[in-house]
Structure 1
Amino acid sequence: MKTQRTSLLFVGVMSLGIVAAPVMAQSTSADHSTMAHDTQAPPETSNQPGTDTWITTKVKSDLLASKGVSGTDVSVETKDGVVWLSGHAATRAEKDRAVTKAKAIEGVKKVEADKLVVGGKM
């Protein structure tokens, strides 16, 4: 009786394995295609000129990379294509360079630099 039960259990488990194998194979291949899709870079919407995030990032990176502008002392905010520069510029020329750099970025409609203070640190 125990041998018969063990045999039936073995047959049942094997039957499930035979039935489940194609389903698992399909699931696995679907998982691989999904994984391959997931590992691809997402669409790079942030590289599209005109978005406020893209503009802010581009202005800030250009200021950080520019000689004659202390990009670490200048904060950048953008809303609807209008860029606000704030913080500290050592000289009037540095402030002017920061404004010029910001205006040169594609998608920038206007640059406000009233809060970019020349002289003493804020």
Structure 2
Amino acid sequence: MSERKQSLNPIILILLLILLIFIFLSNNPKIQSELPLRNSNLTMLLGFLGFLLIFLALLRLLSRIPSQPKKTTLTVIQCTKCAFKSIRNFQVGDYIPKVVGTCPSCGGPFQIEAIYVEEKSPKRKSFEPF
């Protein structure tokens, strides 16, 4: 993917340069009279280069793979006597009414109360088309 990303940059820069040259040529009447191209051909060429540039930018934007959010499964453990709570990573064999030990504060039974998945979405970067 990084090789393709690097190969698109020179193409877009060259197209931008050609587009700027043709815009300069179309606005300068002295140079325009010496060109073999007629005004309609020059306008059509400018339009084609503009559409090509937009198409390449959209193609690059759509080819990005969205990143998947990181998911972690957590287990909530709670004491049945004093309501002391603890959260830890999920372990194979965890289920909701399972007693997993004794409470560190009162010594009562520690029981699994909830198991849930938490998604950590990556921070979005600013828009960078090129």
TM-score, normalised on structure 1? Answer: 0.30
TM-score where L is the length of structure 2: 0.29
Which one has the bigger strand percentage? 2
Structure ranking higher in helix proportion: 1
